Every structure is written in structure tokens, then in C-alpha cells.
Structure 1
Amino acid sequence: MAVDLVDGAGWISDESDFYGHEALRKKLRKKAERKLATSVIPSLTPVRKVETPPKVQKPAVSEPPAAEKIKHDSHHDEIPFQAQDLRPAETSRDVAMEGDDMQVEAEVSSDRFYGEPSAWQQRETITEFMRRAPVTDPETAMLGPWLWVRNPIMKPKWQKQADVDAFVETGIPLLQGLLKQRTKMETTYSSVGPATITRKMGPYRDQLENNLLALAVKTGTTCGKWMLFPSNEEYPRFWRVIAEATAESRLGPTSKAATHTPVDPLNLICVYTYDFTDADDVKRVLEELIELGVCFRDGKPIYYKCDAYTYLDIKSNNEYKLRASMYNSKDLLQNTAKPKKEGPIDRSQKQITTADIPWMF
């Protein structure tokens, strides 16, 4: 039997109500309102699908190798995401709709390196990442100067954002003040040799170091890293075990490995900690590196450098004669590393300005 369709014109409008008993009408109205709230404005339901980045495409032979343009200078020796990303990530959650079986999934990826080809994606295994971006393959340098692996679990208390700009803005005048003091010292003691001048500048350097580290604490610029320089043969293995341990939350927030370029085949792995003032955590990460077999108690020491010095471009043999590293593994394991008075370990919160050093100007 044919079914006659009825024209709804004049009978159905935006003002139409639901029919049935009161409980049913109430349920249907709530369902309709929720559907509008979640579908009219897509930005309110940010469903994100995380995909494994495509494999690195090899450049055409006719193209100049892009890797040759990349240099490992001080500007690369930092976490580019850390100013905003060393804070706890938002956790994924499912929002269940009340009164019916409809469910809206509002998932926000906790992977801060999501979409970065040079970084491990949490939806891929470490083995897949190593195959996708071999650390010693020069073509991997096209992804960037560093390969990254992030700890998927961040410390809940790590919410303060580092104010790197404020640190650099105040730190540079402090460094310049030391150079001015050295010039003044050389003029006053023109008859003595450079070694004597360097010795007389010792107290000023110590004061500058304390001020810089206290300033780093004040501005939240407290990340630091253990640095390893493996041989060519050991480099892939070291990076793999460190990457796996980082992904398993055994180390710190992040680890990175330098990619190889024809002009700068640097073998460097940095294993980060949250806070250089937390000597216990710095030592804990060191003990894990020993457990992983990439550092040895009685072997050649490795060194720990704070990011604050990286931002100021303080390297070995710098013109300020400052020690570029904060700790070495030998001293830390033997408990001979001493915190400085007014220095980082006592978490000095003193306001540091150029006026704090009377010899600056």
C-alpha cells in the first residue's frame, strides 16, 4: 500500500515544540539544545587527530643540500618550545552528555611536540622515530639542527613560564659590567701581567656568577642539561637508549640530539632537567644515565650546563672567564659539588638589577 507523504509547510517551523508526555518533551529539548551548542561553533569541540608525520623525503640531486646551511651555534642550543611548553599539558577527557547516550569527545593532545617532524610523536614508537629520522644521516639535518624526545608526563607543579627576555635584558648589562671592571683593573695595574689581572678579577667573577644564577631563578629560567659527546660508533646507540628512557619518564622533561651536517658533524646529546637548583633531581638523572650505560662513575666526566648561560652565549673560553658548566659528574657523584652562598641551590629570590653591583658603571 502506498504511503501518502504530507507537506509540512505551515505545520513545522523553528518555533515548533516536541510532542509526547512532559518527561519525553523535556529530554528531547535538552538534546536539541546540546546538539546546537556543540555543532554550531566547531571551535568549542576541538577534536584533534594525531597522525604520525611522514617520512623524510630525500632532496632531488639537482638541489643544493639544505643541511649545509645549518650550523650548531649557541642559538640552536636551547629548547625552542620551552618558553611555553615546560608546563603541564592539558589532559584528554571525554565529556559525557547528561540524560542520554550522546557523548562529545573533547580531546586535546598532551604532546607538546605534536606536528614537529624533528620530534618524536607520541603515537609512534621510538623505533619508528629512529627509522624516520636516523641521527647520523646528513639528510635528517633537513628537519632541523636537533632531534627531540619529550617526556609525556610533566611535573604538575611546573607551571611557571620562563621569562627569558627579562633574564637576557638584565643579564647582558651584568656581563658588560664585568668587562668594564676588567678594563678599569688593567688601567690601574698596567705594570702587572694578565695572570695577575685574572686573579684579581676572581671575586668579581664569583659575584657575577651568583647574580646571574639568582637572576635565572627569579625569572624562572632554571632548565639545564647534562651534555654527552659520544663517538661516531656510539652515537646512534646512545641516542636510542636516552630517547627510550625519556619517553618512559625515567629522565627529565626533554632530551635532544644534534643532527649531522657536512660542515658540522657534531655528536652531542643533551638530557634536560627541570631545575638546576634541584641538585637531587640533577643527580637522579645522572644516576639514570649511568644505569643506561652512557656515562661511567670512574670514566671521563660529563658536564651539566644551565640554559641561562646558553641564552647569554656563555661558552667555554668565554671572555668573562666564567665556568660554562655548573656541575660535572665526578664532583656530583663524590658529593664535592658545593652550592654557592647566595647562589642557585638556596633558591635566592633577590631582585637582581644592575645597581646590585657597585663596580658596574
Structure 2
Amino acid sequence: MLKRLSPRERFEQLVATWEPLLRAAFIEAIDDIRSNIVLRRIVERLERADIAGAIRALNLEEAAFRPLEEAIRQAFNGGGIAAVEQMPQLREPDGHQVVVRWDARNLAAENWLREHSATLVTNIVEDQKVAILSALEEGLSRGDNPTKTALQVVGRVNRVTGKREGGVIGLTTAQAEYVATARQELSLGEPDQLRNYLSRNRRDKRYDRTILAAMKTGEPLPTETIDRITSRYADGLLKLRADTIALHETFEALNTSKEIAFRQQIDKGRVQAQNVTKTWRHTPQEHPRAHHVAMNGQKVRFDQPFMAPDGTAIPYPHAPGVPARHTLGCKCYCDFRIDFVAELVR
């Protein structure tokens, strides 16, 4: 006999289905940008001190992120379909079952999907350009030649895989700065600077023994070793970036589609808003938000927001416009319940 899944288990199942696809879609977009880079064009522009031209030569276009937009659309529709399938059966006064469907072409659904995807991709591309601009300017001002400067931005081709590794393509502006600082720590070779590098969570720990040996002998690390260590550190940050986007976008798509699915039924008169309640559910994790732990079990009517201890009104987990302190890394969701007695009376 098949086990009946709890609301939490059903939601976790959806996350397990869509989060890996969103992660893979982001990496696919970055690989597409990297694979189409012609290093010679970038170097030629840097030789003419044309940094803007070098950035244009990278072809950082929003079209490259269409796989990510498509993955978000699939997760959003998958969440909407699941929400409708999990709704308890509603019946008309004459006893006939009410037909309930997820409408992906609903205006609210289409608007959210279009605006959300466009804003996300635009922000990723623009932040990329800022990070790359800073990296190119820093490399040239440091006295690095155009080729070295370009390689530190776009990464080097792995002779085994044929793919570029390292660089700052795909990283946030802050992460690109972490890479630059890490390279400086390794290049200076001073014990306290090397010790700072060893405290970085996303470093490749396979190189720790090499760094510890340099600290002991006082010998500077070879340039090739620094490039290799920095590239692996950048790859670790890129994985973190992919994980962060996949988690955030999956939870936002699933939570939003569930809310819109219920709103569609309310707008069509199949159920009344005052007869629907929602309950905040916190997912246990290693570093939980104290505010969200306190909100666990909080129940409100469909058209009312949840209230966080800091006074923030939250329509539902990951709702648009909610401050990042309540969304980034958040794994909360909410359950919806229909008061059948009230519906029957109606």
C-alpha cells in the first residue's frame, strides 16, 4: 500500500525535483558564455585600453540565460499543478464535484513569471558586468599584461575537459572581490595573509598542505600554483552561486504558484477567501532564522499576511517584495486549508 505523503513530504518532493534542474540550468548558461569566448578579441581590446569593448566581446547577453528562465517556468507550473492536485475535492450544492484546474495562462501567473524572470536575468547580467569591469581595471592597474588580465577574468581552458575553469564569469560582484583578495593573499606570501586564505570556506582544501609548506619555509608560491589555487577557489564560489540561485528560485516559484493556484479558485468563485487559511511551516536546517522558527505554526486568513517578530508583513514565504533577510536561504513554505463546513453553509 502506498504511503500517503504529508504536506511537508509533498513539498520536499517538489523541491527535490526542481532544485537540481534550476542549478543545472544556471551552470549551463555560464558554460555557454564561457565556451563562446574568443580570448584573442578580449586581449586585443585590452591592448587598446578599451575595457568597455573587452566586456562587449564577452557577449554577456540575457539570451544566454534562457535555460534558467525555462527551468523557472517549469518549476512554477509544476508547483501550480501540484497545488491543484493536492486540493481536497469541492462539490456543488447538488453534489457534483467542482472542476479545479491550474491555469498557467492566468494573468497573475503570466505576469509573475514574465516579470520575475526578466528581473532576475537582468540583475545577473548587470552584476556580471560590474564584477568584470572591476576585475579588468584591477588587473591592468596592477601592471598585469592584457592576456593575464583576461585569463583571470574568463578562466583557463582545462586540457582534459576542454572547458574553461576559474575566472569570475558567473560570480557576483562580492564573490569576484573575494577571488581578487584571495589571489592577493597568496601572492604576498606572508604567513598572516596565507593564514587568512586558509580560513576561506570555499577554498579547495587539497592545496592546504602546499600553502602550509610555504608558510613554514617562507618560500613564495609559484605563479602557476597561485593561478591553480585561485581558479579552484573561484569554482567553489561558482558552485555556491548556483546552489543559492537554485534554492531561492525553486522555493519562490513553488510558494508563489501555490498561492496563485488558490487565488485562481477564489477568483472563479469556487471557494471564498474567508474560508481559506494558511499556516507558516518552518523547515529545520543547520542555521535556522530565529524569526522563522518563531513563526512556525502561525495561522492567518488567506488575504492576511504573516507577521514576523521584527514586524515584517510577509504574504507567504518568498513573496515578491519581502526583504532579502527573510528570503535568501529560506526553506519555509505554507499550508493552505479550506473550511469545508463554512463552504457547505455557503
TM-score normalised to structure 1 length: 0.22
Q: Please identify the structure whose Cα radius of gyration is greater.
A: 1
Give the structure with the higher percent helix.
2
TM-score normalised to structure 2 length: 0.22
